[in-house]
């Protein structure tokens, strides 16, 4: 356990936890927040092997296991005493997309493997709910904090498969209802939609022509957007809303790491399926 002397000598600054920070969007968010001056904690099953700066505090966690999730918050409480920002990015929905040589991702719901529900609903939605409950216990006494749930357009239109839509729609509804209960404590909750993000998997797919990266975003971009939201003095007025990261960036003048301004996608830009 960290004693009071160690805590007083710990680095100052706003404390953030990014779940699912080992790779992809979560890793990018962690890097973006670290560059913005946050003291960042990153959790994930493979966080110890992740390509992350030494300044980022790694806490290995399988968010399918509640006791491991509780430990993450115990570590933050012990080392910092408070938590200012939670970004729920843990997500197992993109694992094992190809099985036995078959691409099972777009299969109809009756042919979907059972693990996809676990990866999206349990490792995604349920993990976000449990983490948010822990965070709320730390934030509400201080009347300070922000919870961000990473979501996507599949909440509003069929994309890929039915479970994907269920998971993201549940995330947006969870955001809306949590916001009602947290608003009296001045803790906003936001659902944030990224665009096409140049994650490791997207870059690999782009080599085969699967994606046009001309309007894509770096993984760090959404971390920059979250930093801008965190410092918005009128943020509580947005609580419970679904926000598009690129639209928020334009509002606050946030640029990507290459100086570009990614376009804000709308529902009309998302390919319709079904």
The pLDDT tens digits of the residues spanning 209-220 come to 656 777 789 999
CATH-assigned architecture of domain 4-269 = 3-Layer(aba) Sandwich (3.40)
Residue identified by tokens 């997309």 is 97
Select which of 41, 94, 164, 193 is catalytic: 164
Mean pLDDT over 12-41 rounds to: 94
In the DSSP assignment, the letter for residue 272 is P
Write the CB contacts of 259 (distance below 8 Å, at least 6 apart in sequence).
none
In the DSSP assignment, the letter for residue 11 is -
- Average pLDDT value over all residues in the chain: 90
215-246 residue pLDDT tens: 789 999 999 999 999 999 999 999 999 999 99
For residues 87 and 41, what is the distance between their CA atoms, to the nearest angstrom?
10
Contact 189/145 with Cβ under 8 angstroms?
no
Q: Where are the domains of the chain?
A: 4-269
H/E element, 15: strand 15-19
Look up residue 121 and give its two tokens: 């609903």
Active site residue 164: yes
Q: Say if residue 1's pLDDT is above 60.
A: no
pLDDT band at 67 (very low <50, low <70, confident <90, very high): very high
pTM to 2 decimals?
0.91
Mean pLDDT over 15-21 rounds to: 97
């Amino acid at each position: 356990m960290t004693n009071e002397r160690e805590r007083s000598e710990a680095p100052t600054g706003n404390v953030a936890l990014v779940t699912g920070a080992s790779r992809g969007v979560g890793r990018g968010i962690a890097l973006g927040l670290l560059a913005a001056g946050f003291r960042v904690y990153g959790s994930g099953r493979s966080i110890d092997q992740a390509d992350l700066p030494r300044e980022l505090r790694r806490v290995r966690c399988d968010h399918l296991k509640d006791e491991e999730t509780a430990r993450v918050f115990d570590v933050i409480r012990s080392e910092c005493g408070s938590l200012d920002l939670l970004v729920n990015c843990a997500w197992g929905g993109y694992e094992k997309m190809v099985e036995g040589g078959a691409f099972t991702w777009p299969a109809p719901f009756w042919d979907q493997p059972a693990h996809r529900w676990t990866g999206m609903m349990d490792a995604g939605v349920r993990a976000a709910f449990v983490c948010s409950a822990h965070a709320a216990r730390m934030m509400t006494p201080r009347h300070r904090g922000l919870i961000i749930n990473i979501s996507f357009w599949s909440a509003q239109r069929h994309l890929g498969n039915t479970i994907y839509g269920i998971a993201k729609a549940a995330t947006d509804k969870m955001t809306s209802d949590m916001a009602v209960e947290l608003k009296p404590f001045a803790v906003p909750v936001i659902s944030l939609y990224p665009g096409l993000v140049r994650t490791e998997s997207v870059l690999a797919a782009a080599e085969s022509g699967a994606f046009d990266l001309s309007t894509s975003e770096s993984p760090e971009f959404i971390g920059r957007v979250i930093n801008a939201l965190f410092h918005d003095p009128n943020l509580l007025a947005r609580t419970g809303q679904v926000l598009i990261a690129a639209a928020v960036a334009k509002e606050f003048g946030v640029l990507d790491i290459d100086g570009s301004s990614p376009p804000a996608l709308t529902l009309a830009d998302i390919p319709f399926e079904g």
